Each structure stands twice: as structure tokens, then as C-alpha cells.
Copies of this chain bind each other. A is one copy, B any other.
Amino acid sequence: MALSHAVLAALLDGEYSGYQLAKIFDVGVSNFWYAAPQQLYAELARLEEDGLIRGRQVMQHRRPNKRVFTVTDAGIGELRHFAAAATRPLFIRDDLAVKVQAIDHLDPAPVIAQLEERAAEAAAKLALFEKALRHLRGDLDEESFLRSGERVGPYLTYLGGCRLEQETSSWCLSTARLLRERAARTQAAGE
């Protein structure tokens, strides 16, 4: 049970189909959980079989029909059980950092380009998260919302996501700049 809890948590805020969940995992939940679309269909089938979620057919006019899912009481129970148990350490894998780690033995040019690309992606995600935050808090300012809101979980994880993307962007840019300067200098020295 690993992906299952992330799916249950995502389904707390509404009924979603596998396809919709895939998009949520691609943009929103992606700040703390990565999952491929195919995994989600398989996981939804498993969760339904275990009685932790319930599916419902939705007929659509000019689109394929879809099945949307909600968390059952048993599903909430499973989440409570999970939350009370010990948390595993953060699981992180970043190919780009591996490249930076090895940079002194590599051609820096493609790595610099990838750092700048990642910085741009992070900035775009940050903008998205900030939009989501404004949407969640509605007319309230952040402080009042966090004090009196009924559903603050997603808001808090988005706040964490914002920090992560901000730091990512800033680290990528400063690293890229430094590597550029060093590359310029070694080239000048080599001439």
C-alpha cells in the first residue's frame, strides 16, 4: 500500500475518473507524489475490489462515458490507520542532480540547458500552484482561511509545493549561471 493512500487522499475532494486523476497527479499532487496514468487505472481497480472506493458510471453525450470514484467509510478508515502509523522517509530521485554531481567529468553545455529548462518548468508550476491557492481560499486572506477553513489539507500541501518549486527554480538558475561562467573561463584559458 503506497500509491493507494495518495489516491485515497486525492479522492477526498470529489469524484474523479482515472483520466481526471491522471491529470491531478500530473499537475497538483505531483508536488509530493509521482504516478504514471496506467498505474492509476490499475490502482483504482484494486481499491474498488478492496471496498476502499466506490465507482459510479457517468453517461456523457458527446464523449466516452466514464467511471468516477468516491472514498468509502472503509477507505477513510484505511487512511486513518495509515496516518497513525510511522511515516517512511522521503523518496526522491532526481536525474538532473545526478548530472550536476558528475558535472566535472562531463560536457556542461547540455546540463546547463536542462537546468534552465527545469527552472522554467518550476516557475510555471509555481504560478499554477499560486492560482490554486487563490482559488481554494476564495475571498479570505491566507491567515483567516488557514484559521477557519474546513478543508486546509490541500492548501497546506500546495504551500509546500510552492516552496519546493521556488527553491528548485532558484537553485537551477544559480547553478546554470555558475557552470556557464566556469565554461567560459576554461574555454578562454584553452585558447
One of B84, B92, B118 near A92 (C-beta < 8 A): B92
Do most interface residues of chain A lie in helix, strand or loop, or is the interface mixed?
helix
Instruction: Give A10's nearest chain B residue, CB to CB.
Output: B101
Complex Cα gap A84–B9 (Å): 37
A107 touches B91 (CB 8 A): no
Chain B proximity mask over A77-114: 1 for CB below 8 Å, otherwise 0: 00110111011111111111111111111110011001
Q: How many copies does the complex hold?
A: 2
- Whether, in the assembled complex, A159 has its beta carbon less than 8 Å from a beta carbon of chain B, the answer is yes
Residues of chain B within 8 A of A156, CB atoms compared: 100-101, 103, 175, 178
Instruction: Give A80's nearest chain B residue, CB to CB.
Output: B106
Complex Cα gap A23–B118 (Å): 29
Instruction: Give A150's nearest chain B residue, CB to CB.
Output: B104
Chain A contact patch, size range? 35 or more
Complex Cα gap A31–B96 (Å): 12
Residues of chain B within 8 A of A101, CB atoms compared: 9-10, 12, 29, 32, 153-154, 156-157
A89 touches B33 (CB 8 A): no
A104 touches B167 (CB 8 A): no
- Whether, in the assembled complex, A191 has its beta carbon less than 8 Å from a beta carbon of chain B, the answer is no
A94 touches B99 (CB 8 A): no
- Whether, in the assembled complex, A147 has its beta carbon less than 8 Å from a beta carbon of chain B, the answer is yes
- Whether, in the assembled complex, A160 has its beta carbon less than 8 Å from a beta carbon of chain B, the answer is yes
List A residues 9-49 near B (Cβ within 8 Å). Answer: 9-10, 12, 29-34
Would you give 20 A-B contacts (Cβ < 8 Å), ordered by A? Answer: A2-B95, A9-B102, A10-B101, A12-B102, A12-B104, A31-B97, A32-B93, A32-B101, A33-B94, A33-B97, A87-B114, A87-B117, A90-B94, A91-B91, A91-B93, A92-B93, A104-B152, A156-B175, A160-B171, A163-B167
